[in-house]
Amino acid sequence: RKKMGPLLLLIICQCAINSVKTHSVSNPNIILMMADDLGIGDLGCYGNRTLRTPNIDRLAEEGVTLTQHIAASPLCTPSRAAFLTGRYPIRSGMAAFSRVGVFLFSASSGGLPSEEITFSRLLKQKGYATALIGKWHLGMNCESSNDFCHHPLSHGFDYFYGLTVTNFRDCKPGQGSVFFKGVQKALVIPIQIAGITLVSLAIVQYIGLLKVPFQVLGYCLLIITILLVVLIFFFYHFRHLNCFLMRNHQIIQQPLSYENLTQRLTKETIQFIERNTDSPFLLVLSYLHVHTALYASEDFRGKSKHGLYGDAVEEMDWSVGQVLDVLEKHNLSDKTLVYFTSDQGAHVEEISSAGEVHGGYNGIYKGGKSTNWEGGIRVPGLFRWPGVIQAGASIEEPTSNMDIFPTVVKLAEARLPSDRIIDGHDLLPLLQGKVTRSKHEFLFHYCNAYLNAVRWHPGNSESVWKVFFFTPNFSPEDSNGCYDSHVCFCHGGFITRHDPPLLFDLSRDPEEKVPLTPETESRFYEILRVIHLAVDNHTRSLHAVSNQLSWDNLLWKPWLQLCCSSVFQSCYCDYDSEGSSLEGHSG
């Protein structure tokens, strides 16, 4: 009996420890932080030595750093759709066949379809309080200005404070326009054709070669004038019509003010956490930093070594620190999984009108936003969950931002949907060191709706093969981006097709400098054969869906336009002043 006592005590203690550990791994709080257009080379934990990011670096020190974390698309809208649903954006209709691959206007009818299942919806069903603070960029209305069919609150979020579209240069006076060049190019030829046609008709009418009713000429002129007036009105008032801040379904600031904007987003974040200290919560903190227009508050402006871009990165890092501090203050650190990433790589072509670099740094990686070169899709991937996942570990296996969906759904003990393909995989075994290989043998890289490249990581090899079926034409040719068009495009004269495809081994050539050939790689044709088979299998798994980024769904529809006052008052309101009380809003 004396010998059995300590043994029994040991067994009881071990059971208690296992019980605590099992309990701690289910239903944690979940905070998912996503930067906008942040380069993987902008962070200290990924090698940057001049930008100060101590709080984001702390996530790496206390958690896991993924070094081959891949965005499912190199553009905001499709990447975020994939993140929320765990599915390639081509499956949900969130990948464009036209040149424009993202939503540009608040009054467009496209968006994340209601049939898509987001992790927020599944976690809400399991009793989680859910909030999205910051950028949405996945649509708002379908048929009327108040149906909110694509709004965050229709996709499983209880609370929303942020922008439904994105942060454009046009939203900040003095920062130029992302549309001016494109609109200018698009309108010059149609206006010239219309003008020449009208003048020609008037001439043949005058000399009597053709009898054209005067009314027809008048109607044509009237229609063209009305269209031009509407277009000029829209772009003149773009900031008021598209750049506004919402709380749930209500506009609280129109147009958006950048004054202490990061502080306001951070304050909302802290208040949401403090409202939910006693029950599990899901918080998606979707930063506006560092998409242009760049901004930074007085405390950070002019303080970094990299101009306004660096100031914005360091301000975002401060905000991350505030979030970590409030978790510590309420003893929630050990109960909370924290994730930090970017929706895609840095926008290398972002240069201000004054010549200042407003885009980030993708480290050693080629290209940037809008391309499937590594610089466009290899993004930060940081996880922290003290006591549950490894601390200070680095994982080089291919992972995807689509993996967040199955990871958090399983942690919340919700069921993964069985009626659709989920392309992501649960990351927890990898993060805990229980397995060493990623479940992603293949990853498919789309440029809008066009299959651009494929990554293959064979189970019996350290190699990571990557093939390109086409590549963007950089302009100027010897540059690292498409500076002449501001972003790279996916078809026609903007690309070069490759047959056979370009082949790289990222394990030996992460910079994608030297394509392999049958002479330099003996398995060249075998690798291509396996990848082509994988593409065939993947293509067969796709089904026709409604194209959410068709021209019809992209264009501005006046009847969908939200306005917090009236058009005659320039849609102006400001209910988000610093002094207003934010208490009493539901979490």
Q: What is the DSSP track for 126-152? A: TT-EEEEEEE--S---SSSTT--TTSG
Selected catalytic residue, list 76, 482, 563, 564: 76
Question: What's the CATH code, domain 31-167+244-437+550-560?
Answer: 3.40.720.10
User: CA 38 → CA 74, 119, 194, 348, 404, distances in Å?
Assistant: 12, 23, 43, 10, 19
With the CA atoms of 507, 508, 512 and 516 taken in that order, what torsion angle do they form, in degrees rounded to the nearest 10?
-110
State the pLDDT confidence band at 199, using cuts at 50, 70 and 90: confident
Mean pLDDT score, 442-462: 97
pLDDT, tens digit (0-9, with 9 covering 90-100), for 54-73: 999 999 999 999 999 999 99
pLDDT beyond 80 at 392: yes
pLDDT beyond 50 at 544: yes
Task: Give the end-to-end CA distance of the chain in Å, rounded to a whole number.
Answer: 55
SS (H, E, C) 186-246: HHHHHHHHHHHHHHHHHHHHHHCCCCCCHHHHHHHHHHHHHHHHHHHHHHHCHHHHHCCEE
Structure tokens that stand for 183 in this block:
């609109």
In angstroms, the CA 406 to CA 422 distance is 8
pLDDT beyond 70 at 9: no
pLDDT value of position 150: 98
State the pLDDT confidence band at 567, using cuts at 50, 70 and 90: confident
Taking each continuous run of H as one helix and of E as one strand, the counts in the chain are 15, 16
**What percent of the chain has pLDDT above 70?**
90
pLDDT value of position 209: 73
State the pLDDT confidence band at 206, using cuts at 50, 70 and 90: confident
Mean pLDDT over each residue of the chain, to the nearest integer: 91
| CA proximity to 24, closest of 323, 331, 387, 281 | 387
DSSP state of 179: S
| CA proximity to 389, closest of 3, 122, 64 | 64
| CA proximity to 400, closest of 371, 361, 426, 372 | 426
Burial class of residue 288 in the structure, from the number of CB atoms within 10 Å of its CB (0-12 exposed, 13-18 middle, 19+ buried):
buried
pLDDT value of position 278: 96
pLDDT value of position 165: 96
pLDDT beyond 50 at 28: yes
In angstroms, the CA 549 to CA 111 distance is 8
Mean pLDDT score, 487-508: 97
Chain center to CA of 112: 13
Selected catalytic residue, list 13, 23, 45, 137: 137
pLDDT, tens digit (0-9, with 9 covering 90-100), for 250-285: 999 999 999 999 999 999 999 999 999 999 999 999
Sign of the C-alpha dihedral, residues 335, 339, 340, 343?
negative
Within the chain, all domains assigned CATH 1.10.287.550 are found at: 179-236
Mean pLDDT score, 234-238: 76
φ and ψ at 383, to 5 degrees?
-125, 135
With the CA atoms of 282, 288, 556 and 78 taken in that order, what torsion angle do they form, in degrees rounded to the nearest 10?
-60
pLDDT value of position 204: 73
State the pLDDT confidence band at 220, using cuts at 50, 70 and 90: confident
Least confident segment among 55-64, 132-141, 494-503, 562-571: 562-571
Q: Please, what is the Cα angle at 182 between 181 and 186, to 5 degrees?
A: 120
pLDDT value of position 322: 98
Mean pLDDT score, 76-89: 98
Structure tokens that stand for 186 in this block:
């698009």
State the pLDDT confidence band at 427, using cuts at 50, 70 and 90: very high
In angstroms, the CA 322 to CA 501 distance is 47
In angstroms, the CA 386 to CA 531 distance is 39
pLDDT beyond 70 at 535: yes
In angstroms, the CA 227 to CA 558 distance is 13
DSSP state of 482: B
Least confident segment among 127-136, 145-154, 222-231: 222-231
Name the residue with tokens 């930090």: 340
Beta bridge partners of 283: 31, 131
Q: pTM score, two decimals?
A: 0.90
State the pLDDT confidence band at 14, using cuts at 50, 70 and 90: low
pLDDT beyond 50 at 583: no
pLDDT beyond 70 at 359: yes
pLDDT, tens digit (0-9, with 9 covering 90-100), for 104-122: 999 999 999 999 999 999 9
State the pLDDT confidence band at 22, using cuts at 50, 70 and 90: very low
Within the chain, all domains assigned CATH 3.40.720.10 are found at: 31-167+244-437+550-560
Q: Looking at domain 179-236, does it have CATH number 1.10.287.550?
A: yes
| CA proximity to 548, closest of 63, 136, 11, 92 | 92
Q: Please, what is the Cα angle at 335 between 331 and 341, to 5 degrees?
A: 110
Q: How many residues does the chain have?
A: 587
pLDDT value of position 176: 82
76 tagged catalytic: yes
Q: What is the largest CA-CA distance in the chain?
A: 122
State the pLDDT confidence band at 354, using cuts at 50, 70 and 90: confident
pLDDT value of position 81: 98
b/e burial code for range 146-155 (CB count within 10 A of at least 16 → b):
eebbbbbbbb
Radius of gyration of the chain (CA): 26
pLDDT value of position 19: 39
The backbone region for 78, taken as left when phi is positive above 0, alpha when psi lies in -120 to 50, beta otherwise, is alpha
State the pLDDT confidence band at 370, using cuts at 50, 70 and 90: very high
Question: Are 562 and 245 a contacting pair, CB within 8 Å?
Answer: no
pLDDT value of position 578: 44
